[in-house]
Amino acid sequence: MKLVAVVACTSGIAHTYIAKEKLINAAESRGHSIRVETQGTIGLEGELTKQEINEADVVIMATDIQTTGNERFENKKLIKVPTNVAVKAAGQLIEKIENELVKE
């Protein structure tokens, strides 16, 4: 499965990058590819390309704040969670996506 994600916490520093790493590790350990864009105090990093978004099976929005460019994800399977879910339970989040969203 191909996943893309946007991660953004309220301060845009620690939890943003921890959530990014947790999502990458969880997805890859289950055999999926994932690309993660971060939005925070440093700005936008690792911006997702149109092709990556088009090819994605699911978009994960692990955000605590309003993010920019969300119109890019119209007509995509989308799951929204707070960043703490990605930090504390990334594996369970990926499993839920496998079991519920992909089968729709």
Q: What is the DSSP letter of 84?
A: H
Annotation marks residue 28 as catalytic:
no
Q: What residue numbers bound the domain in which 47 lies?
A: 2-86
Residue 32: per-residue pLDDT: 97
Read off the CATH number of the domain in which 24 is found.
3.40.50.2300
Is there a domain that residue 22 lies in?
Answer: yes
Is there a domain that residue 64 lies in?
Answer: yes
Number of domains comprising the chain: 1
Is there a domain that residue 95 lies in?
Answer: no
Is there a domain that residue 98 lies in?
Answer: no
- The arithmetic mean of pLDDT across residues 62-87, rounded, is 95
Model pTM score: 0.94
Residue 102: per-residue pLDDT: 63
**pLDDT tens across 7-36, in order?**
999 876 788 999 999 999 999 999 999 999
Active-site hit among 7, 8, 9, 53? 9
Query: Which H helix or E strand runs over 20?
Result: helix 14-29
Residue 104: per-residue pLDDT: 54
